[in-house]
Amino acid sequence: MKVHEQVLQGMQEMAEKFSQSGIKLQMPPATNAALGTRYTDIETGKMLAAEIKFNSKFTNPMGFFQGGFLCAVFDEVYGPLSYMASGRPAVTIEMSTSFVRPFTEKDKFVTVRAEVVSQTKSLLVLRAEARNPEGKLIATSTTHALIATDQNLKREK
């Protein structure tokens, strides 16, 4: 099974597991298709990588991939990695991104590689890099995610 299909299957399994408790999760999230996310490498629960193609729908006035959408690209990798690491849904409570160079049409795509830095019973710390096909650093990111409990999930319904 290819990595992409393995990640999507894991998302489906997570949705099914929690639907039995009356908790509805949309898996994969709609953003997955909108951004064209393609998962490419995995070390289950520790690291996940994906490629996202340049799309002019997500550009700023200068024709560069807009920074906010690049943050969403990081979150496309953080989300499934957090599920794999914790076995539960997790929500971002803080994310920081530093932009090094623009993601342009000539790059064609970026590869985002995220890894788990630290994990407790309730918190995940993750970091990631986005690189163009030549390996040049586009941006770095870190995030903190709160691991959801059944009680928290039911309260939010």
Residues 1-37 have pLDDT tens digits of 799 999 999 999 888 888 887 778 888 899 999 999 9
Q: Which two tokens stand for residue 95?
A: 């994310």
Region 3-155: CATH code? 3.10.129.10
Residues 60-113 have pLDDT tens digits of 999 999 999 999 999 999 999 999 999 988 999 999 999 999 999 999 999 999
- Give residue limits of the domains in the chain: 3-155
* Largest Cα–Cα separation, the chain: 47
Q: Which helix (H) or strand (E) holds 140?
A: strand 137-147
Strand arrangement, sheet containing 137-147: 38-43, 47-53, 109-119, 123-131, 137-147, 90-99
